[in-house]
Structure 1
Amino acid sequence: MLRRLAIAPLLLATALTVPASAAQASTAQADRCSGVRVPGAEYSVSACLTDLTTTGTLATGHTDRDDWKGLVAPKTVTPSGVPGVQIDGYFPDTSTTNTNHHWNHDSQFVIRLPEKWNGGLVVAGPPGVREQYANDPIISDQVLAKGYAYAATDKGNTGEELYKDGDRPGDAIMEWHRRMAELTVAAKKVTDQHYGRTPRVTYAAGLSAGGYLVRWQLEHYPELYTGGIDWNALSFTRKGSLLTTLPPALRAYPRFDKGDEGDKAAAHAEMLAAGYPKGSEELWGFHHKTQWDFLQRVIREELDPEYDGAGQAGTPFCPAGTTRGCDTDYDFAARPESVHRAVDRISLTGRIQRPLISIQGTLDVLTPPSTFGDVYDRMITEAGRARLHRYVHVPGGTHTDGLVALSNDKIELKPMLPSFVSAFGELEAWARPTTCSHT
């Protein structure tokens, strides 16, 4: 639970023992801490904190370590010592998968307002099925240290059953985009209320599914942003998505792991043909166990619920050919047109309208470069927007920096956070308030 500051007793004691001018200053400070309201929010609570970064919020209960578990490389040192106001709350919603603060209410958000504001705002959504604090060490800490206000959403649904949110295929994912835009609008009004002016620049930032949100926002809501930066971003198109890259891995990896030499070699070739980078083999076992199967079933249930009939999210780790509706056997190309239309609803086009920097790890085995980052870069070029895109490969980078711990004598993995920080600096120099809309 968030802990409210015990402001009233403190102020009363102060008023009895200090001059009126000091008491007035204390009252003004209390108003500044508790008086911030988030337009459109159903509920919010604010507090003055001596440190808005992860170092401080871990101590005060204003973050959730589980949200960003596995996203930070071992021994990573992040900025700290940024005082200001934190606002936590939620927008009206009917789903209840987010249990942070025991609210049991989705569309939760966090907004952080540093005392020394540089006039900018960064808005982010979480990777995967995580919640609003997921980007705290990797994005929030970095931009707060530069003086930016920061806002993050839980995307409107979280957890292993996000596909239950909505009435038709694709609804849950479409809500992600609506919630990102909703928070951006609200956060701008909050800065106006708190600092007396709206942001001079607003950047969208995100990792994985959060990176997908960045791309969508710059395609569909360019008026809200000055630019964006994505990191190993997820993509959806008819030509490719997790629904086309994960099933081949689910079929091939068990044979690569335990087959005889001939079967192992054939499975290895299938993995490479599906886009998984040569040299990333040491990562395949971990991803098979923790990510590929789970994400295939959850995303498939969201976009193609009829595949497994009345079942929900299939059968975990079912061997190919053994179970009706087994996701290991999934073939997106062979699915009905209605499924393709559901994917069309959430597909990217490449028609970005604001500057975008994409960073992509060369050893990413969840969103491999050849089937995700490279494809979106080509889509942008084909859409005539190449002048708005800078695409950076990070040698040795993998999907999340926590995986750097898997480095051994066969594979050397490098944290991508330094590349994100560098790319964000490049975005600041490139995407300025004078940037015009490109349509």
Structure 2
Amino acid sequence: MKTLNKILIANRGDIAVRIIRTCREMGIKTVAIYSDVDRDCIHRFLADESICIGPGNIAKSYNNIGNILYIAEKLECDAIHPGFGFLSENPEFVRRCKEKNIIFIGPSEEQMVLMGDKSKARRTMQKLGVPVVPGSKAVLKDKEEAKKMAEEIGYPVMIKASAGGGGRGMRIVHQPEDLEKSFEIAKSEAISYFKNGDLYMEKFIQNPRHIEVQVFGDKFGNAIHLGERDCSMQRRNQKMIEESPSCYLNDEERKGLYESALKAVKGTNYEGAGTVEFIVDKDKNFYFIEMNTRIQVEHPVTEMTVDKDLIKLQIQIAAGNPIPFKQEDVLMRGHVIECRINAENPESGFTPCPGEIEEINIPGGFGVRFDTFVYAGYSIPPLYDSMIGKLICKADTKEECVAKMNGALDELIIDGIKTNIEFQRELINSDEFLNDTHDTGFIERKLNER
């Protein structure tokens, strides 16, 4: 089997730690980059080599393509793993890696452009026979075209940034008089966050479930799925709890979701890790919404469900190897739940809470995993995402998994800063989560009732 010798990790935090651990097991050397405010971040101490990439400003450090490639060349790295966020879905970064003859651990520039542009991805899925939400067939030219499209498909509608993600550049419009302002705000956000003001429109499916399928493809035409993750527990389009399998689907419905996800992989000759995301309405109709062309934050849910290292699989594929197993070899066992632990205060509008962690106790035991990068004495900087860890539990059934998660949350102690641990406990013990009647609007409704 072909292998890589040295990988630069173009990221920080828990995903950087995660990648380093797998590389160590595979006998691959690692280079960690860090900003000057991340000098105490543990990933730089775990890597074989580490180097400061620039100041805390993201544009001058973790998003600085020129500096990253210079370091990769100087330290003779043959590959770069982008993790998630930052440059992980940046086609220019992929192109420039190729120009330097450095392997980008992910899909090609062409595949990323195709699937990263939501309007193009939508048209592609339609051609492949994958169900999509009714909406515009191309990018909206202007506000007038947006008004006509909204009248055609019927309110409520959702205006979305074609190059967007994470809820940015997205506006729900319930009435005609709100469309013009929402269009302008969405366009402004899209330009600000993605340097691309293109917008498209979809019919807004009210209170759907959000279910995604983990997929992989290789350069030999092989394509597999590794089951689904139900990510319906969200706040402002940001996932908070993920679980697998989804109790909302029966086996036949689940099969249809898998088949559509594999059409997306095979139809685009996709290589590497990807996630095909769907929304599912109250009648169990499912619709493609986007494909994330990278490893996901919630990938540990799948790892614990199928007992496979997804980072290792990414590296093997990038090195030029075929997927080392067949679809029939993928066995999904038990129930897995992940709670994202954030440095934020739910009692004051989920405001970020940077600061020093005075004490921390990490839970353990059979079927318990905590992916993090923090430690006692570490100061969380105010510049980056507030997520400080992911608590993942596995048991035979959902009921047993919730019980295990309750115990793990009890054991998880993080002193010195505010966190959302108690709020996560509230969510997993809610009747809606236990009875599987929640949807993507559940948390907002719950908060509004307070």
TM-score, scaled to structure 1: 0.30
Greater Rg, structure 1 or structure 2? 1
With normalisation by structure 2, the TM-score equals: 0.30
Higher strand share: 2
